[in-house]
Amino acid sequence: MEDINIRDLQHFLYCQHRWGLIVIDKVWAENIFVIKSNLMHENVHDSNRVTYAKNKKTFNAVAIYHDELGIFGVTDSLIIEKNKYILMEYKPTKPKGSDFNIDDALQVFAQKICVDSIFHTNSKGYLYYKNEKFKIELPFEKEYEFYYSLLIKKIEAMRGYLLKNQIPSIRKGQKCSGCSLKDLCMPTRNVKYNLKQIIFNKLEEEE
């Protein structure tokens, strides 16, 4: 079973083709959004930085895993407050028109599954938006089944592609404006004939 990095899950959720380019084709490129996010994470990814307050400890960049599901990753902050475990994931900007993206929530849920299994707990997950200095608790208690089955579905899909060493094709309606791989990927919108896309489609038909 191929182990899945939770960070890669997020690429897959944003655009499965982008995930394939990064994980299977091993390409990478940065743009302003990637750099902004990297700079913001510099602090929270310093695992030597542990903060203590009354009844509260905050650990950064904690390595986590779940053997049964074959997933692993690194948290932003893991807070232990009065024996309660809280995951805090930092994002540069709050999405327009909603409190969170499902993709970001699923990333935190995958971390929660790992933390719960390691520490035998029922952790809470939060997103913190730097631009608005706003945090939101994610609805894992109420919607556990939804997030769990979505996570399994996505992990299985990723493993399927990894097994075949195949880069998934571009989804219909894929939004590309913020993607750092645009110059490498050359998405095909508004192009009538594209050999690369035809080959991807053919491979998918033959599955």
Which residues are at the interface with ligand SF4 (CB under 6 A)? 15, 17-18, 21, 170, 174, 176, 179, 181-182, 185, 187
**Which residues neighbour 204 within 8 Å (Cβ) at sequence distance 6 or greater?**
168, 169
Distance of CA 182 to the CA centre of its chain: 19
Q: What one-character DSSP code corresponds to residue 181?
A: T
Kindly state the smallest distance separating residue 19's Cβ from ligand SF4, in Å.
8
Q: For the chain, what's the residue count?
A: 207
Residues 6+ apart with CB under 8 A from 186: 196
- The DSSP line for 93-128 is SPPTTSS--HHHHHHHHHHHHHHHHHHTS--EEEEE
CB of 173 to ligand SF4, least distance (A): 11
Question: Could you tell me which residues are beta bridge partners of residue 91?
Answer: 129
Q: How far is the CB of 201 from ligand SF4 (least distance, A)?
A: 14
* In the complex, minimum distance from the CB of residue 193 to ligand SF4, in angstroms, rounded to a whole number: 17
Select 120 or 172, whichever has its Cβ closest to ligand SF4.
Answer: 172
**Nearer to ligand SF4 by C-beta: 45 or 196?**
196
Closer Cβ to ligand SF4, 121 or 174, answer by number = 174
Burial class for 39, CB neighbours closer than 10 Å (0-12, 13-18, 19+): exposed
Q: 15 vs 86, which CB is nearer to ligand SF4?
A: 15
Residue 117 vs 194, nearer CB to ligand SF4: 194
Q: CA nearest 62: which of 36, 89, 28, 81?
A: 89
CB of 171 to ligand SF4, least distance (A): 8
